[in-house]
Chains A and B, each alone.
Chain A
Amino acid sequence: MINLNRRRFVQAAATTAIAAALPLIHTRAAQAADPLKIGYIYVGPVNDGGWNTAHEAARQEMMKALGDKVTSSYVENVAEGPDSERVIRDFANQGCGLIFATSVGYMDALMKVAKDFPDIKFEMCTGFKHAPNVANYNIRFHEGRSVIGTIAGMLTKTNVGGYLATFPVPEVVSGINSFQLAAQKVNPKFRTKVIWINTWFDPAKEADAARALIDQGCDVMTQHTDSPAAVQLCETKGIPTFGQGADQSKFAPTMCKTSTEDQWGPFYTTAAKDVLAGSWKAEDEYWGMKEGAIKMAPITNVPDDVKAAGDKVIQGWMDGSYNVYAGPIKDQSGAVKVAEGKVMSDDEILGLNWLVDGVDGKMS
């Protein structure tokens, strides 16, 4: 038994070593003349109309910008966890020089593969672990949420907004806080009701939860889920709503007032250019409206003063005159978390685990 195990171990180790070494040789020899090969791993289908569609559009934008200097391919519907390691390793073995993993659940698998392929650059979307050849990239989603919050705060009559949330992770919490803070800047009486549904994707449940919020007095709604079900319901109920990830106005032609659009393209182009030029560094990037990483769909079907207020927030993010996370900010218990004159740091935003004053709902 022991012998067998040992023999198997040696075999496995040898196979791994060969598998790891061969493509490296191939890559080095080929890199000089061939275009840069780039691999993308997507967590869902490229036609989901949200997160993955945005990444795929960005990949194509990058391809167009860099022409024949790069080639790229993607694998869609890759489950987070162990399965993703196989896909990432496969990309590495195929001689990719740059690999983008576009969902946070790939992080551990990516770190493992990155260790075996020190010459390949890895970019981890919304990740937070570091290695000499691994960098993280993210979008300041809360900037878009503040535009939505401003509009919601001005449109509401009941002074209650609904927020359909998925999981209490910093990305979602930061969106909720930004929505409430921006709304109460224009409407001090504004409160936000939150429902956690514990899934990114379950259209029927998303619609039910939206219905529950509307039935309890919310007369503006936003959601941080992946399907347009809630937006669609708001159209039938006549409740102002907002799209997330991509322009969702076709699902609610009169009620969808604007959408946040994730724009990964500028970042993908920059990262690929850096690798081509040999100037790529393992530095985290956290881009917002200023860098063109988040865009608002046109603000429509609202009174002129509301549109002007929304556009002013966008302008403010561009020129640095607006920051939704400028103090004073209190948490739900009333304790001051960000003092007057201070601004929340990037690390604090990326690690948010508390809700601001004015949000009704708990962290789960």
Chain B
Amino acid sequence: MNVDFLIAVIITVVGASTPILFAALGELVTEKAGVLNLGVEGMMLVGAIAAFATVDITGNPWLAVVVAAAAGSAVSMIFAVLTLSLSANQVATGLALTIFGTGLSTLVGKGFTGRIIKTFDTVFPQALAANPVGRVLFSYSPLVYFSFIMVALVAWFLNRTRAGLILRAVGENDLSAHSIGYSVIGVRYAAIAFGGAMAGIGGATFPLVLTPLWAEGLTGGRGWIAIALVVFAGWRPVWLLGGAYFFGLLSTFELYAKASGASWTSILPSEGWAALPYIATIVVLAVISASKRGGGGAPACLGRSFVPSA
């Protein structure tokens, strides 16, 4: 295994992990506020088509990121109104949002199938990426670096700020937060909007970084992996970073191992390799629920509707 090969694997892993990381980060904040939004896949697809359409029309990938975030947020508001203002069941509404997002993106995308767009250039000058270390550090699209910044920001916000404390309080005990005067519904609206925006950016990563094309169902189920990842990381932003790269590694490593023709890859059939992220999540869930603390950091009010009594 030489250095070039290792670098190639790392670069592919980073690319494969970034959309999952964005989407999972948004879902983490949403869940910390006590809301389970299973519509991640749908919001990602809406973000993806919004980004693709924006670049196709204006040619500006930066604007595309903003539009994708806005579009993801906008569809998440459907979920917010239904579950918060109308107290609909979160699981069912989230699933409906995924179906809606898939359909909407397909409909909007009809006119964009088969078109090609320009992707992001790398942020740093090519000269920096001349040596192996430089290539690992400096050869990515701006969205990759943005994902690191967002992890740090979310971690700081949740653990070091007053607003983050309130958000967590709302997720842990909505009645108490309500009784001391915080707007549970308001905080949850904001958290869902943030989750939608991040899912939108995660979706935008597909046309802007990975594959500069639009195709129906472009995200290929990665929204579900993002939801699994939040559980896998035990609702901790920094663990989420590690988890996203672990999941990315699992899915990419298989491809490289198979292409190398190494004999040990036949331990598992390729279907087995593809199932690994999900198996890992189940194992982690089992370990978490067996541990003494129980729940393992799951917000206490996760998935419960809040109806303020008069």
Chain A residues with a Cβ under 8 A of chain B: 44-45, 47-49, 162, 193-199, 201-209, 211-213, 215-216, 218, 227-229, 232-233, 250-251, 360-362, 364
Contacts and interface: CB of A to CB of B under 8 A. Distances in A.
B15 interface: yes
B189 interface: no
A164 B211 CA distance: 16
Given A196-B270, A215-B8, A45 B216 contact: yes
A256 to B, nearest CB: 12
A47 B110 contact: yes
Given A49-B113, A211-B8, A362-B266, A203 B216 contact: no
A196 B270 CA distance: 7
A361 B215 contact: no
B12 A211 contact: yes
Given A193-B261, A196-B270, A208-B16, 7 more contacts: A44-B216, A202-B221, A205-B220, A209-B259, A212-B259, A216-B5, A364-B271
Given A196-B258, A201-B215, A207 B210 contact: yes
Contacts of A232: 116, 211-213
Interface string B70-94: 0000000000000000000000000
B252 interface: yes
A361 B210 CA distance: 26
Nearest to A216: B259
12 contacts: A45-B216, A49-B113, A194-B258, A203-B220, A212-B258, A212-B259, A227-B211, A228-B213, A232-B116, A250-B116, A251-B116, A251-B213
Interface residues of B, number: 39
- What are the 5 A-B residue pairs with the smallest beta carbon separation, nearest first? A215-B8, A202-B220, A212-B255, A203-B211, A229-B211
A89 B220 CA distance: 31
Contacts of A206: 211
A215 B206 contact: no
Contacts of B16: 204, 208
B69 interface: no
A173 to B, nearest CB: 15
Contacts of A205: 220, 251
Nearest to A196: B270
Contact of B15 (A208, A218, A360): A208
Given A196-B270, A201-B217, A364-B270, A207 B114 contact: no
Nearest to B273: A198
Contact of A208 (B12, B270, B274): B12
Contacts of A204: 16, 19, 206, 210-211, 218-220, 222
A250 B114 contact: yes
B268 to A, nearest CB: 10
A342 B38 CA distance: 58
Contact of A195 (B9, B251, B255): B255
A195 B218 contact: no
